Structure 1
Amino acid sequence: MCGLFGSVGFQPERDRIDRISHRGPDGTGWQEFSSAAGPVALGHRRLAIIDVSDAGLQPMADVSGRFNLVFNGEIYNYIELREELRAKGYVFRSDSDSEVLLTAYQEWGEKCLDRFLGMFAFLIWDARDQRLFAARDRFGIKPLYFVANPRGIAFASEIKQLLGLQGAGNRMNLARVRDFLASGISDHTRETLFEGVMQVQAGCCVTIDASRPLQGACEPRRWYNIPAHSTLDISEAEAADRFRQLLTDSVRMHLRSDVPIGSCLSGGLDSSAIVCLMSDMLAEEGEGARVNTVSACYAEKSVDEKPFMEAVVAKTGANPHYIFPRAEEVFKRAADITWHQDEPFGSTSIFAQWCVFEEAKKAGIKVMLDGQGADEQLAGYHSSYVYYMSDLIRRRDYVTLLRTMVERDRIHGVSFVEQFKRFIGPVLPPQLRTFLLRQRQVLVNHDWMGSDALRPLQNQPGALEVASQVNGLPPITDIASLCVVLTFASNLQMLLHWEDRNSMAHSIEARVPFLDHRLVEFNLALGNAHKIVRADTKRVLRRAMRHTLPESVRERRDKLGFSTPEEVWFRGPLKGMILDGVEATLKRYPDLLEPKGTRALVSDMLEGRRSVDFTLWRIVNMGIWGEKFNVIM
């Protein structure tokens, strides 16, 4: 895990790699080359994880000096690939996965990407042919941004490295700002919230020809095709056995490290499964080591998951680290977190995650495994029930529908009235659904986004629709298609963005075993019956982890993650700061939001006339982001 920078044409500026020194405190490198398109620069900040010796420093060149690499990430199957390449006659000078990646590119060219099991964003400069090759992993675990215009092309690990280049100023991208404010979704297209700054999307790569003057274009192409979904027809037992095999192998691969390793533990199914499997593997190897876990806890019982965490710790003998994020710290940290995130973030749960990585650093843990990705592949969010129940209606399976409603009322605490409201919308004709949603926004949300700036965008598709359209994904019609869109173009990329920045801000490598592509492809191919069955979410995971997870965790049906008690905080100790934050945003951007509607919405939430949701924090954080990066409309 590291940070990189590369440019062609632009005047080389070494400070652009130094802006992200937090990503790589263990080494730095910078090299310049010449080309027909102008100067070429490669920069790197190193976080040493595999082969911590100086042999792993970058930029890294092959023996001939033709190929030069800067790389952020891990290739988990580097040992197996190294042996395959040795059999072909290659000699290695280090034990690093970086050298394996570079050698694999020498041998197989772009096709090497298909062989990698891991997370990566990298640049390779071919000095002989004067070409720069850039690639990003299948699911966008590691970031890769770019700016392209006739003056030059530049790539970077974080947006802040590109700001100030021609074509990358401090003006907001209003369409993506609208998506974020309305739905809390970002990273769902190749655009960022900064006008002119793009990202190489998940599973994409690009080749820049520097043997001639640049044309200013940078058009990444997809190297990893979206896998088929809902094509496997197998029994529950078969699905569970295969799932367990794939997840176990993934966790084993993700444990490859030359530095201390631990895990985030929320007490939910996903992180608990990883901790339990890690513990089993250490026991099998007879090392006598205990898994270090870090967890966020709260006094508010509505979001506190400590009993579930303690059940996992008791079963595994883990070495737990508990932290208690405090309300008064939210605004003290907000500006720093926003600077590291580069863009506004969706809720104070990102603050809780920040605190978890901060504690991990204090404990001397340099690699942390986390459970990101399972919810998207396996329909773990309760919002998925809209599609599940609508499908039951289409199939006229009213018996299962009624049983589901009864179980959800009893287990999830969702009343019959609320369930009718939630699942009836998707089966209405599209025009009627759109009309009702607009009326609801005006009547319930006070038309707070009805400003002159945002009104022209109101008729545009919603963020999930945009994600499907621009990324060539299927329209969302059922659980299977929802999982594909969530995995490749909305929730997951956004969560990975937040985790990458929070972990790297503390010089920690975050790993996500649920995103082994073999496991993802299997999960997406599974039919809906392996994901949601009445009140059961993530059905295949629950069955696969029988006898591994504590039963209290395996059988829990709520959904929290690294949640914070926002409603209690916002109506209590943070109320004044929230009001001040909203006013600061309205003052900074008087034309962005409709002031009267915004204040009415905020008042309704803070005074208890409606429940608090993430909208409050999005409005506040928009102003913090604007101030931190001096963003203009």
Structure 2
Amino acid sequence: MCGIAGIFSRDPMSPASVQAMTSLLRHRGPDDEGYVLFGSRDKPLLVCSGADTLPQAIGDAGLPYAPRHRLDDCTGIPVSLALGHRRLAIVDLSAMGHQPMCTPDQRYWIVHNGEIYNHIELRRELEACGHRFFSHSDTEVILAAYAEWGPQCLSRFDGMWAFAIYDVVDQELFLARDRFGIKPLYYWVSPCGTFCFASEIKAFTAFPGWSASLDHQAAYDYLAWGLNDQAEATMFAKVKQLEAGHYMRLNKAGLARAQERLPTVGWYKLEGRPFSGSRADAAVAFREHFIDAVRLHLRADVPVGSCLSGGLDSSSIVCVMNRLLAEEPAGAMQQSFSACAEEGRYDERKWIAEVVRHTGVQSHLVFPMFDKLFFELPLLTWQQDEPFGSTSVYAQWMVFQLAARHHVKVMLDGQGADEMLAGYHAFFGARFASLLRAGKLRELWKEVRQTKSAHGYSELEASMQMANVLLPDVLRQPLRAITGRDSIKPSWLDFRVLEAETSDPGRRFGHDMRSVGSLSRAQLTHNNLQRLLHWEDRNSMAHSIESRVPFLDHRLVEFSLGLPDEFKLSDGVTKRVLRSGMSGFLPDAVRDRPDKMGFETPEEIWIRKKAPDTFRRKMRQAIQASAGIFSADGMRLLEDVVSGKRPFNFAPWRIINFAEWLEVFSVKVR
């Protein structure tokens, strides 16, 4: 797990900028540092070290990618391409894992962020093809796989990654991102035409000519709907992200068109694998897939810990991890890390305690406190790169901060399970709608009654959920306003300043959400998962921790997506196949709990009871700092939420954090 950055230019330029960019990514890789610089010749011009480069890596005669120069001594040398790397050492901790790395013939050079969990199996296959390796790292396996199979190698990888490979012979840069976008990769073309890429947007702020300006459409989608990371656009105009499951190829001829939209290729399309067995068969198959996914995600040369919210997903990971670790010769004790609250409604300590008693893991707890929230907010906003949707991100931040204090370098977390297994209550509306469309009225009535019994939903609420899924926008939007949901054109936004298409982003992107399966696909690819992975990556890497998400093993996701809807959600019970599959692994109390929380904060209590005046002050500041984007109705929105006239929602926080982001990154609104 690392931070990567690079520059590619038609005109020779100083490599000092790539050093400045990678310096802003040091938190992603404090263990090692490296650079490779290319001029006009057919071989690397210089392989360079930095202040944090492992001493053992420098000048190693046995490694073709060993640094032999100091970058500080080479900043006056003009180059056309430079690659920079910051390393968080997880697999092969030796100097042989140093990056940038190359193939033995020095044709292909790579900077890589992520993990290829099946690298051991791929290494054997590639050795049979004649490849030889210097290290035991997964990065070197990527290089050999690309040399052997080209871009088709991507479909062979099981893992998370964002990497750039430069082909010295063809003078072509290849950038690729994993299936679900677990690891980030951004690119931006500077005013002088230089193509820049990096793991985080903040790296671009160190490049000459950077000026932050607002992408109005992305801002609207966030402010009005709470959505980020739906496609290639970011909140920064002209900064794009390489989308999940895509790659890009760029040569010097392509650089001439770099100011235009650069073409990318979608190499992965999420498809479910049809399943024809019984529910019991599905539970067994799911359990086998899941255990194997966790087993692969435990591959590391450092201790592995876990996030534990007390919910079904993280508890499943902790319990399966515990069994797998017990099978190892050393029998390492697992450490878990949890966010808790003094307010009972938001506290999951009783569920965490159930899992701890069941497994004997070493548990660590942290209590996110409101008093520190706004003190930490500028740093948290800087680390996140873009504004975020609620203070739950702060709770997750504190969990990884706690893990870092206990010197844990890898953490497993449960992202992805809700999206693929219908864990959110939004799936009830999709389930009801699909039964209605199929004419299964008796089954629909039964489902509504059982959902009411399990979750307290009334028949009216069930009807409203179905309507929200099925009605056209002309009828749907007034309904959303009545129920206090996100509005298509909120009054607190001034659309004379915020120039954007006012529409439901889900429908704008053509997502079908009228069944459990179709909503699951939308949430996995656009609506929900991408922003959660964004927050997870920044929160973990801010504390130099690699976060792994075994539920997003592509084999497990494809299997789950191919299951009938009722195997995941029926009789008012969510994630049925996971609950059945984890029988005997999870404590029954946790396996059968109907509610869902996660790492949340008591934000509603903070706004309404604990510190309404603080939020009033922050809202006034936000309106003033927004350059006219927010109208005075922002104060009315907050007052209605504080008084209870309007159902609690996260719009006030989005307004406050957006204004904080404008200031932290000096973003121009117009």
Once residues 368 and 271 of structure 2 are traced to their aligned partners in structure 1, the CA distance between those partners, rounded to angstroms, is 41
Contact 2:30-2:86 at 8 Å conserved across structures:
yes
Displacement of 1:267 after TM fit? 0.6
Contact 1:118 1:137 in 2 (8 A): yes
> How far apart, CA to CA, are the structure 1 residues paired with 2:269 and 2:188?
26
What per-residue deviation string (whole Å, max 9, x for no partner) do you get for residues 369-404 of structure 1? 000001111111101111111122223333333333
Alpha-carbon offset, residue 605 of structure 1:
0.6
Give the whole-Å Cα distance in 1 for the aligned partners of 2:360 and 2:244: 37
Deviates more, 1:529-538 or 1:269-278: 529-538
Q: Could you tell me which residue of structure 2 aligns to residue 380 of structure 1?
A: 423
CA shift digits 1:40-72 (9 cap, x unpaired): 010000000001111111111222221111000
Q: Is the 8 A contact 1:230 1:480 kept in 2?
A: no
Greater mean alpha carbon deviation, residues 142-151 or residues 67-76: 142-151
1:31 is aligned to 2:68: no
Higher mean alpha-carbon deviation, 573-582 vs 420-429, is at: 420-429
Question: Which runs of structure 1 show a deviation greater than 6 angstroms over 4 or more consecutive aligned residues?
Answer: 438-446
Gaps spanning 5+ residues in structure 2: where? Answer: 42-77
Residues 35 and 498 of structure 1: CA distance in aligned 2, closer, same or farther (over 3 Å): farther
Identity in percent? 42
Equivalent residue for 2:44? Answer: none
Q: 1:437 to 1:311 in 2, by over 3 A?
A: closer
CA contact (8 A) 1:445 1:601 kept: no
Q: Mapping of 1:86-485 within 5 angstroms?
A: 86-148=127-189, 151-163=193-205, 165=207, 169-210=211-252, 214-216=256-258, 217=260, 219-229=262-272, 231-434=274-477, 436-437=479-480, 447-453=490-496, 457=500, 460-466=502-508, 468-469=509-510, 475-485=512-522
Say whether residues 1:587 and 2:624 are aligned partners.
yes
Q: Quick one: distance in 1 between partners of 2:199 and 2:104?
A: 27
Structure 1, residues 289-324: CA drift from partner, whole Å, max 9, x if none? 221100111111111111111111111111111111
Distance 1:440 1:457, change over 3 A: farther
Contact 2:432 2:462 in 1 (8 A): no
* Structure-to-structure mapping, 1:41-60, within 5 angstroms: 41-60=82-101
Seen in structure 2, the aligned counterparts of structure 1 residues 219 and 444 have a Cα distance that, compared at 3 Å, is closer
Q: Are the equivalent residues in 1 in contact too, given 2:216–2:498 (CA < 8 A)?
A: no
The residue type paired with residue 606 of structure 1 is: V
Q: In the aligned structure 2, how far is the partner of 1:454 from the partner of 1:406? A: 47
How far apart in 1 are the matches of 2:453 and 2:209? 55
Give the 3 Å change call, closer, same or farther, for CA 18–200 of structure 1 in structure 2. Answer: same
State the shift of 1:590 in Å.
4.1
Structure 1 Cα separation of the partners of residues 496 and 392 of structure 2: 29
Q: Which amino acid aligns with 1:2?
A: C
> Does 2:122 match 1:81?
yes
Say if 1:147 and 1:167, in contact at 8 Å, map to a contact too: no
Among 4, 8, 22, which residue is 1:17 paired with? 22
State the distance in 2 between where 1:561 and 1:439 align. Answer: 28
Residues 641 and 647 of structure 2 are in contact (CA less than 8 Å); yes or no, is this contact kept in structure 1? yes
Counterpart residue type for residue 559 of structure 1: K
Q: What secondary structure does 1:598 align onto?
A: helix
Of residues 548, 573, 586 in structure 1, which corresponds to 2:585? 548
2:224–2:486 Cα contact (<8 Å) kept: no
**Is the 8 Å Cα contact of residues 108 and 165 (structure 2) preserved in structure 1?**
yes
Measured after TM superposition, the shift of residue 38 of structure 1 is 6.5
Of 128-137 and 410-419, the range deviating more from structure 2: 410-419
Name the aligned partner's letter for residue 256 of structure 1: R
Comparing 83-92 with 441-450, greater Cα deviation is found at 441-450
Deviations 1:226-276 (A, max 9, x none): 233484333111211111111110100000010111000001111110001
CA contact (8 A) 1:68 1:126 kept: yes
Taking the aligned partners of 1:549 and 1:135, their CA distance within structure 2 comes to 37
Q: TM-score, normalised by structure 2?
A: 0.89
Cα distance per residue 1:584-624 (max 9 Å; x no partner): 111011421222x2111110111222232111110110111
Aligned partner letter, 2:556: L
Q: Is the 8 A contact 1:35 1:130 kept in 2?
A: no
SS in 2 for 1:69: strand
Distance 1:87 1:421, change over 3 A: same
RMSD between aligned residues? 2.2
Higher mean alpha-carbon deviation, 492-501 vs 402-411, is at 402-411
444 and 540 in structure 1: CA distance in 2 versus 1, 3 angstrom threshold? closer
- The answer on whether the counterparts of 1:147 and 1:168 sit within 8 Å (CA) in structure 2 is no
> Could you say what secondary structure the match of 2:344 adopts?
coil
Distance of 2:137 and 2:389 partners within structure 1: 36
Distance (whole Å) between structure 1 residues aligned to residue 538 and residue 626 of structure 2: 26
| Structure 1 unmatched runs, 5+ | none
C-alpha distance 490-449 of structure 1, shift in aligned 2 (>3 A): same
Shift of 1:220: 4.3
Moved more, 70-79 or 26-35: 26-35
| Cα distance between partner residues in 1 of 2:407 and 2:225 | 37
Q: Which amino acid aligns with 2:393?
A: I
Is the contact between residue 328 and residue 574 of structure 1 (CA under 8 Å) also seen in structure 2?
A: no
Partner of 2:48 in structure 1? none
Residue number in structure 1 paired with 2:667: 631
Structure 1 residue 349, shift from structure 2 partner: 0.4
**Structure 2 CA distance for aligned equivalents of residues 442 and 69 of structure 1:** 46
Rate the CA distance shift 1:475–1:444 in 2: closer, same or farther, 3 A: closer
Q: Deviations over 1:306-354 (max 9, x none)?
A: 1111111111111111111111111111111100000001101000000
CA separation in 1, counterparts of 2:273 and 2:558?
A: 10
- CA deviations on 1:85-134 (whole Å, 9 max, x unpaired) are 11122221111111111111111111111111110000111112111110
Aligned to 1:70: 111
> What do the CA deviations read for 1:435-464 (whole angstroms, capped 9, x no partner)?
544677799999434513367646x43122
| CA distance 1:230–1:598, shift in 2 (3 Å) | farther
Would you say the 8 A contact 2:480–2:487 is kept in 1?
A: no
SS in 1 for 2:84: strand
